[in-house]
Structure 1
Amino acid sequence: MNKPYKVAANSIVDETIVSRSRFICFISPCTSHEDAKEQLINCRKLHPQASHHCYAFLTGKPDDSQGYGSSDDGEPSGTAGRPMLAVLQGGDVGELCAIVVRYFGGTKLGTGGLQRAYGGSVRQALLLVETSTKVPMVEKQLTCDYGQINDVLYFVEQAKGEIIQQDFAAQVELIIALPEEQLTKVKQQLQTLSAGLLTLRSTDPNIR
């Protein structure tokens, strides 16, 4: 079951100086690879003279094994994008993109120094990020009698769900969005109300 998790709710910019090199970190909400690419394009337009534009992003939960990416953008392999991503994944916040712009200050930092500088830049910026809680929702179909509709609406409201669509014909046809963690409870309530006749169905026609 997908549990609620924190997501970035604002965009911030934070700058650190390490051995005369400027590290400017941009963190913004991000929900797709395309979103991250667009943010990178905009950042490069803002800082066309920067030495590097390194990034890391999470498009879902912090522990999502698929929705992430990173780039060293010309820095030695593993010294920028990877430590930035490690900080994001350990930050307990999902759906965000971090871009660190570096203006070289004339002093080489070495592998360890670069890892600390890029990771530290993101870690410091994360302290400024505001968060909100995202509740994973699932959509279900339900057919009920008119005499049951008030109880059904009450169950949905109590579960903090939403009515996406409703059609009134011989019976009431509903499409409902429910928090995934409330799904079992609502199913049980519907079963009790209807002596086992009311069931939630998938909105995917290929799933029965």
Structure 2
Amino acid sequence: MKKDYPVPAGYLERETEVKKSRFIARVAPVTTRDEVKDWLEKAHQDHPDARHICWAYQIGRPGSAAEAAMNDDGEPSGTAGKPILNVIQHKDMGDVLVMVIRYFGGIKLGAGGLVRAYAGAAESVLSEVGRAFHKPVCAMNLVMGFADEQPLRHWCDVNGAQLAAITYGASVAARVLVPDDQTGAFVAFCEAHKLDYSFET
């Protein structure tokens, strides 16, 4: 049985200072590599003068993440991305990206100092961010008439489903992410409205 798992409830930023170097830590919820890329681009736009923007993320369930990655962005290997990822894993949180933006203060920290500083920055933001719960969902594809779109949107709003994609042609095609515990109700809705539906495998 798929279970819920904790994810960040939203975006948060915290700043720490170590020997005159500024460490700005940001946490954001992510579910795809494209979202990771978008957040990193934003960090580079917001802080074009930063010496380093190091990061780590994991997507999926903590402990068995579907995907995880890290980047030291020019810091000595293993002194930035890995400590950030270690903190993420210790927090037992999934679908999470942590970026740490560093402004060098003129005093070298050494490898041990860097590990402590990056881990501390990640800890500062992860310990304060709210937690939400990722609910397992079932992806379904629908084909329907134009008049059926509004009732579908209404059903999704009321039942916590997400209309992930919609395309218009001779008919309307939609991809809907339905919470696992609402799948039966959604199938009943589709059948009542005579909608053509299929489960994504």
Amino acid aligned to 1:203? F
Question: 1:92: Cα distance to partner?
Answer: 1.5
Secondary structure of the structure 2 residue equivalent to 1:167: helix
Kindly indicate whether the alpha-carbon contact (under 8 Å) linking 2:71 and 2:80 is maintained by their aligned counterparts in 1: yes
- Mapped pair 1:102 → 2:98: no
- Equivalent residue, structure 2, for 1:58: 58
- Give per-residue Cα distances to partners, 1:139-193, cap 9 Å, x unaligned: 68xxxxxxxxxxxxxxxxxx55541552359xx8896xxxxxxxxxxxxxxxxxx
Preserved CA contact (<8 Å) 1:61 1:93: yes
Superposition deviation, residue 65 in structure 1: 3.8
Give the partner amino acid of 1:86. Answer: N
- Structure 2 contact 53–99 (Cα < 8 Å) conserved: yes
* Aligned twin of 1:121: 121
Q: Is it true that 1:43 corresponds to 2:71 in the alignment?
A: no
Paired amino acid for 2:40:
L
Q: Give 1:76-155 correspondences, 5 Å limit.
A: 76-138=76-138
Change (3 A) 1:2 1:167: closer
From the superposition, tell whether residues 174 and 126 of structure 1 become closer, same or farther in structure 2 (CA, over 3 Å): same
Give the CA deviation at 1:132.
1.2
Gapped runs of 5+ residues in structure 2? 141-180
Q: Tell me which residue corresponds to 1:163.
A: 186
CA contact (8 A) 1:5 1:93 kept: yes
Corresponding residue of 2:23: 23
**Paired residue for 1:203?**
199
Q: Please identify the structure whose Cα radius of gyration is greater.
A: 1
SS in 2 for 1:44: helix
The answer to whether the Cα contact below 8 Å between 2:65 and 2:94 also exists between their aligned partners in 1 is no
Judging changes above 3 Å, is the alpha-carbon distance between structure 1 residues 173 and 11 closer, same or farther for their aligned structure 2 residues?
Answer: closer
Q: List alignment gaps of at least 5 residues for structure 1.
A: 141-158, 176-201
Aligned partner letter, 1:111: A
Q: How many residues end up aligned between the 2 structures?
A: 160
Distance, in Å, in 1 between the alignment partners of 2:139 and 2:66 is 23
Q: Which amino acid aligns with 1:35?
A: E
Question: 1:139 & 1:121 partners in 2: Cα distance?
Answer: 36
Contact 1:50/1:101 (<8 A) preserved: yes
Q: Report the TM-score, using the length of structure 1 for normalisation.
A: 0.69
Q: 3-state SS of the aligned residue for 1:16?
A: strand
Letter in 2 for 1:28: A
